[in-house]
A and B are shown apart, each in its own frame.
Chain A
Amino acid sequence: MTRNVNRIIGLILALLATGYLLLSYQLPTYDYIPVDADVIPKALGWLLLILSVALFFSKDQDSEEQKAKRHVAKKDVKAMAGVFGITLIYIMLLEVVGFIVMTSIFVFFCSLFLGYRQHVVNAIVSISFPIFIYSIFVFLLNINLPQGILPL
């Protein structure tokens, strides 16, 4: 089983190395430069290929603790996927909707999603925190964050 894990990762890394090498061999070279832009990438690509082969055939050295880490309950996977999804939506809409609104929504719903039940505290934090950060960045430090739909 654990040996299989190393095999799968080894294969993925070998694929990565191959792709990287293919791109490296397409890099243009100039005659008058002794060590051109392609040399180090080629070396790295081959090195990774060799290492991935070594991993493919290596025995697993993980401790029990490490193996336990690998087991993630289904509901945790769902929770992580949820946070990932919310973040993805946040990134997509940040520049359209604006920093304050989007961040408030993000903090509130992400906490709610993860099981935070003190709605009042949650609302206060998720509204005040973005406003605080926004004020510091925009008014004090002159670093513009997307203002979006708010007429601030």
Chain B
Amino acid sequence: MGSLEEILTGFQVAISLEGIMFVLLGVFVGTFIGMLPGLGPITAIAIMIPITYGMDPALALVMMAGVYYGAVFGGSTSSILLNAPGISGTVASSFDGYPMAQNGQAGKALAIAAISSFIGGTISVVLLMAFAPMLSSVAVSFGPPAYFALMLLGLTAIASLSEGSTLKALISAVVGFMVATIGIDPQTGTARFDFGVPRLLDGIDFLVIALGLFAISEVGYLVINRFKASFASAKELGSLKLSKQDLKDISGPAGRQSILGFILGILPGAGATIASFIGYISEKRISKNPEKFGKGYIKGLAGPETANNAATSGSFVPLLSLGIPGSGTTAVMLGAFLVLGIQPGPMLMGDHPDVFWGVIASMYIGNIFLLVLNLPLIPYIARVLTTPRPLLISLVMMFSLIGVYSISFSTFDLYLLLGFGVLGFLMRMFAFPAPPFILAFILGGMMEQSFRQAMTSSQGNLSVFFTNNISLALIILSVLSFAFPIIQSMRQKKKQA
């Protein structure tokens, strides 16, 4: 922890009139861009970089940080309303958020997302402020074996993401993993399964798969139900009313996932996606009524939403205290620092305490702004769902098409999107769950790479996964996590017998 004086300098930056204005601007632009199809925090930050040129570094970075967490915040909107996750961190939010919106509780779902994001954001900033300098050692403690084990732990979630047949969930996951192997293999430079198409050399973009499997396949069902009346009345739909019980339901996941999400966010490379999935799964595991998950359960939305926002704050630990960007987004954020002549790294706190603490302090204010800005808008945003079905279908299709096009500028990716849409529809028709597919797609690629990195470093010796303490602990946890549901169901059967 820095000296009190330095922290106060930070607050001085953040609470000054200009500071407040730039935070406001940042979170506003961030939320807005985050809600646009396909555009996530990476694009939002990259676009804002030229604007900051020549500004006071502390103020500019306070704004850029606002753009970052604002975009994460805004990203969940399309996930909840249209089942169209724009960034990987919000996929898990759609599992219960979208069913809630479908049940006519869109306003409530968005409000829960906003509140849990706020809690996740705020608690994690407290943690960031208190422990940032100390936690930098955590960020570098993970070598390839530990990453492999972490991904493995994430993958054990497949069993709990399936409803009905575990066999089908496994098949989904294996196919998802296979899709992740398309493209140039980073360890050898070998092109795999590219069929001679240059666009496939980089692999298939996450967005193509997420929007295809979730949004476009959902369009299929909307088409079948196209003559059904729209959702509940606009008033009911936009209602933000949360009962005492609702708030109580939020508080548990929000508290737990703020801390868990923050810790996972610290690890370079893991970030918001893994945090949100683990957030969802861990809430489901400890829940007394896991059967409610996936059907529009408050805890199933609050968990991942808290976690992905907490992870965003966590990702500032390696960036600010070590100068290591842990993800594509923080790499662009690093670029934003550089253009202002600030080098994030171990010396940042000493060289520029106003920037270091200013950015952190501004996050408190930014999170409050996000809540205050968004809550009043929710009734209007939720009204998107009152659009007559035929028009809504066209707009969802558009949203997905633009989203993919604006990141790849390639019509090839649009054909792929359509293809994955059809696949997603067929999968639902034959009860193959999509979440394991996308989870394996995201984690599989990273898992393969860290596995092979570890094997190369150890000259092919498998024991490297068991001699490293972190990796060993995570592997044990994975085994338990995998065995737990099986043991549970066996016990239940015994009871019944």
* Complex contact A114–B430 (CB within 8 A): no
Complex Cα distance A144/B47, Å? 12
Q: How many residues of A contact B (CB 8 A)?
A: 71
A92 contacts across to B, CB distance below 8 A = 411
* Complex contact A40–B448 (CB within 8 A): yes
- CB A63 to nearest CB in B, in angstroms, measures 7
- CB A94 to nearest CB in B, in angstroms, measures 6
Complex Cα distance A73/B227, Å? 13
* Complex contact B192–A87 (CB within 8 A): no
Chain A 83-115, CB-CB to B under 8 Å as 1, else 0, gives 110011011101100000001001100111111
Number of A-B contacts (CB under 8 A): 165
Complex Cα distance A136/B402, Å? 12
- CB B75 to nearest CB in A, in angstroms, measures 16
* Complex contact A115–B164 (CB within 8 A): no
* Complex contact B181–A44 (CB within 8 A): yes
- CB A147 to nearest CB in B, in angstroms, measures 13
The contact of A87 among B164, B227, B418, by CB within 8 Å, is B418
A95 contacts across to B, CB distance below 8 A = 411
Complex Cα distance A116/B227, Å? 10
- CB B227 to nearest CB in A, in angstroms, measures 7
- CB B341 to nearest CB in A, in angstroms, measures 23
Cβ of B429 within 8 Å of any chain A Cβ, yes or no, is: yes
A133 contacts across to B, CB distance below 8 A = 36, 402
* Complex contact A35–B178 (CB within 8 A): no
Complex Cα distance A43/B428, Å? 26
A141 contacts across to B, CB distance below 8 A = 33, 39, 43, 47
* Complex contact A88–B398 (CB within 8 A): no
* Complex contact B171–A51 (CB within 8 A): yes
Cβ of A125 within 8 Å of any chain B Cβ, yes or no, is: yes
B405 contacts across to A, CB distance below 8 A = 94, 145
- CB A39 to nearest CB in B, in angstroms, measures 8
Which of B97-105, B251-259, B296-304, B450-458 is the interface stretch? B450-458
Cβ of B220 within 8 Å of any chain A Cβ, yes or no, is: yes
Complex Cα distance A143/B220, Å? 30
CB interface residues, A 105-135, toward B, < 8 Å: 106-107, 110-116, 118, 121-122, 125-126, 129-130, 133
The contact of A37 among B175, B190, B415, by CB within 8 Å, is B190
Complex Cα distance A112/B388, Å? 12
* Complex contact A44–B174 (CB within 8 A): yes
CB interface residues, A 5-56, toward B, < 8 Å: 5, 9, 13, 16, 20, 23, 27-28, 30, 33-37, 39-41, 44-45, 47-48, 51-52, 54-55
B460 contacts across to A, CB distance below 8 A = 34-35
B174 contacts across to A, CB distance below 8 A = 44, 47-48, 51
Cβ of B206 within 8 Å of any chain A Cβ, yes or no, is: no
The contact of B164 among A51, A63, A130, by CB within 8 Å, is A63
Which of B322-330, B363-371, B389-397 is the interface stretch? B389-397
B429 contacts across to A, CB distance below 8 A = 69-70, 72
A144 contacts across to B, CB distance below 8 A = 409
- Chain A, residue nearest B224 (CB): A76
The 5 A-B residue pairs with the shortest CB-CB distance in the complex, in nearest-first order: A34-B460, A114-B390, A116-B390, A110-B394, A37-B185
Give 14 CB contacts A-B under 8 Å: A23-B192, A27-B192, A34-B459, A37-B190, A40-B451, A70-B430, A83-B219, A87-B401, A94-B414, A107-B391, A110-B390, A115-B227, A129-B398, A142-B47
Residues of A within 8 A of B (CB): 5, 9, 13, 16, 20, 23, 27-28, 30, 33-37, 39-41, 44-45, 47-48, 51-52, 54-55, 58, 61-63, 66, 69-70, 72-73, 76, 79-80, 83-84, 87-88, 90-92, 94-95, 103, 106-107, 110-116, 118, 121-122, 125-126, 129-130, 133, 136-137, 141-145
